[in-house]
Structure 1
Amino acid sequence: MEVVHLKDGYIKLGQALKAANLVESGADAKAVIQEGLVMVNGEVDTRRGKKLVEGDIVEYNGETVKIEA
């Protein structure tokens, strides 16, 4: 499980995918999120700007990312 550490209390979903090296660019993040391929806390979320906070779990392409402070 990959871990992404917060700097400002939250991170946006697209930024978290990039920070965890699950996508190469913001455009790639936008595409996979809008296609419904990303799950946040067990549910599909299509909002690239969704604010993730400590404890959130992101799943994409068989990989899991945990958001920590």
Structure 2
Amino acid sequence: MQTFTLKGDFIQLIQLLKVMNWVEHGAMAQWVVEEGLVRYNGEIDYRKRLKVRVGDIVSFDGQEVKII
């Protein structure tokens, strides 16, 4: 599992996918979320603007990141 150090209160889910280099661009990030390919704390979540915070775990395509 990878870790991502949060520099503020939160990061939006689609931004996190881009920062982690799990997707090539913002449109792809939106698409994978809309298609239900991203898990947030173990559950599929369709919210593109979801605020990911410290302690959350996001997984996509066999990769996982914990926000610290």
Bin of the TM-score, shorter chain as denominator length? over 0.9
The answer (yes or no) to whether the contact 1:40–1:58 under 8 Å persists in 2 is yes
Shift of 1:2: 2.0
User: How many residue pairs align between the two structures?
Assistant: 68
Are residue 31 (structure 1) and residue 31 (structure 2) matched?
yes
TM-score if structure 2 supplies the norm length?
Answer: 0.94
Counterpart mapping for 1:20-59 below 5 A: 20-59=20-59
Q: RMSD across aligned C-alpha pairs, in angstroms?
A: 0.8
Deviations 1:3-47, CA, capped at 9 Å, x for gaps: 222122100000111111111111110000000000000000011
Q: Which runs of 5+ in 1 are unaligned?
A: none
Q: Unpaired runs of 5+ in structure 2? A: none
- Is residue 63 of structure 1 aligned with residue 63 of structure 2? yes
CA contact under 8 A between 1:33 and 1:47: conserved in structure 2?
yes
For 1:28 and 1:5, the matched residues in 2 are separated by 23
The alignment's TM-score, normalised by the length of structure 1, stands at 0.93
1:15 and 2:15 are equivalent in the alignment = yes
